[in-house]
Structure 1
Amino acid sequence: MTTDTSPALDWTMLGQSFAAAHAELDSSDYLLPDEAEAEQTTPVEPAVVDAIEPDGTDERRAQWLRTVENIRTYFGHEAADFTPWLARRLGIVQRAAWFENPLTLVGTEQKVAGYRIDILAKTQVGDRERFVVIENQLERTDADHLGRLITCAAEVEASHAVWISTEFRDDHLKVMEALQQHHRDCSFIPLIINGALTEGDRAVFDLTPPPTYPSPEDHLREKLHLALRQAREVHLTLKRLEGLISANPEADFTRYRRLITEAGLWSYYADGVADRLLETIPEERRKQQVS
């Protein structure tokens, strides 16, 4: 058995030693610095103040998100105003119709098969250039424009036939979808004119897939069309907000951070699900063997 012979700690003596050492210090210079030194050594926390948005920002934000109800306010005449405007901005058609390659303008009001097609363009498809026919209307679709689109697309062997309007009749949407499904060499694409006001009389217009026609026997189809339009609207809204932020660098838009984050997350999740679905569903319907 080992015995500890070291003396016990004298707590009273230890306390007295600390007290004596503390008394020798100049506490006014060391432990409690004066106010001048405190200002030099202690960082001052900046005041947190919300950035002040410039006058009129709320109004401009509301204008960005307001839809254009009457397209004729900006384009009084289809052939003289809207067609030349669109011909100079074929990138809008390219993005809306998901062209793989840019569109090159051939001409406007081109004579094809006894008709005048609004816009004739070209695009690279595979290893060769193909024609693209574009017919537009500033009102509800009619049979005359539909017949012109189909005839001109057949005449020039177009790879794409794009029909742009402010409103599609249900029967015309059914025809366009049937052509899209069964015509293997040409894509028939309907697009709605969409716009959002910016400042004053200026407007930024875009093209978007039209609402689906009623389909009581296939509710999932209608829901997918709705999801498509909503996904595109999210994209457009974010782009408009991006433009507004760029135009007002001194404004505080931090209120939108959570909303933007959640919109991005849902878009990311939806993209992953879409990829899995495309791997599962064949591009063309599998033909069943008839016994």
Structure 2
Amino acid sequence: MSKAQGSFDKLTTHRLREMKASGEKIAMLTAYDYSMARILDDAGIDVILVGDSASNVMAGNETTVPITLDHMIWHATSVVKAVNRALVVVDVPFGSYQGNSSEALRSCIRIMKESGGHAVKMEGGLEIKESISRVLSAGIPVMGHLGLTPQSIYKFGTYTVRAKEEEEAEKLKSDAKLLEELGCFGIVLEKIPAQLAKEVAESVSIPVIGIGAGPHVDGQVLVVHDMLGITQDFKPRFLRQYADLNTVMRDATTNFIKDIRSGDFPNEKESY
């Protein structure tokens, strides 16, 4: 379990609702390992998402579909060990909850018991109503995810902005209200028009976190490798890159190789 100790303000789902009510924005980033999670937590991040985006940035897969429940539990366990303050939300991977509420419950119980995570995230609205209800009935906090849902990418066939047409926009708004009514503690909205995201955020009492959903929501989330500039070939319009660690890390590696080949490393002070 996470090392919740000391006098710091531990983030909870209740605290997130208080932040929305007071207009305090929520900061959320992904992490998949102990070292990165510790940096983010020490920096004061509110929510760490153990995202199924690990399938892309950690394993090199084209989509999030291949990552398994065992993989997600392994990543989540590593993250939770590093965290003192942040709320840790774990993605339930594709195939672990769709269409079978019993399977959904088993998957989420495994995540909570084996990783020590604080909540789970599931993609979809009305289509997974039964699974969400079953998981919530067991006392497991659930965050919803609407708009562009990467686990359904083969259905969409594209990563373009979702809900630009009225029919899809109305369904998204209806799904958001449904998630709130079911008892979800928050919703991620991915890659939808800013005005639609604003309408959704104003229509529900639970926090709405955006990624490519404009500024009028209750918080923002990015994939940490994208935000830090480690991944260089993914630069969507919504991404603000706060560092260029790809260049920093590549240059450091180049210098390491050079110093070894020249005999400069290790020097006398670095030897026993």
TM-score (norm 1): 0.32
Higher relative contact order (CA 8 A, sep 6+): 2
Please tell me whether Structure 1 or Structure 2 has the larger radius of gyration of its CA atoms: 1
